[in-house]
Amino acid sequence: MANEDSHPETPEELREHAHATLQDCERRWNAFQKQYTRAVNAHMTRSLNYVKSVLHENSRPSDWVRDGFALWIRCYGTGKDLCEATHRLYAPPHSED
């Protein structure tokens, strides 16, 4: 196979390089799907729990506001989790996993 610093020259080297690139893309995509799914699932669970708490017969408007702000702040964390997963997809660390 071609040297890491050089470009593939022969058809065989081109195919080997393409195969290696495809495997790397597939590995990163699978990791992204898992990270993204976890973040979105956690976000939806928190959101649904908030709505259930608002609808609970013992809930008070002060609880809605306090819990709503807490959920809103946590949504920032979900956005951060999604951004980090996307960044790892397109700019993975250079070390082998």
2 pLDDT more than 50: no
Q: Give pLDDT, residue 77.
A: 86
7 within a domain of the structure (yes/no): no
50 within a domain of the structure (yes/no): yes
Measured distance CA(42)–CA(35) in Å, rounded: 11
3 pLDDT more than 60: no
Is the CB of residue 29 less than 8 Å from the CB of residue 90? no
23-77 pLDDT tens trace: 998 998 998 899 889 989 999 999 999 999 999 999 999 999 999 999 999 888 8
17 within a domain of the structure (yes/no): no
12 within a domain of the structure (yes/no): no
Q: Give pLDDT, residue 18.
A: 92
Q: What angle do CA 89, 5, 84 make, to 5 degrees?
A: 15
Range of the domain at 55: 32-90
Q: Which one, of 68, 65, 64, 66, lies nearest residue 55 by Cα?
A: 64
67 within a domain of the structure (yes/no): yes
Number of folded domains in the chain? 1
72 within a domain of the structure (yes/no): yes
Is the entire prediction scored with pTM above 0.75? no
9-27 pLDDT tens trace: 899 999 999 999 999 989 9
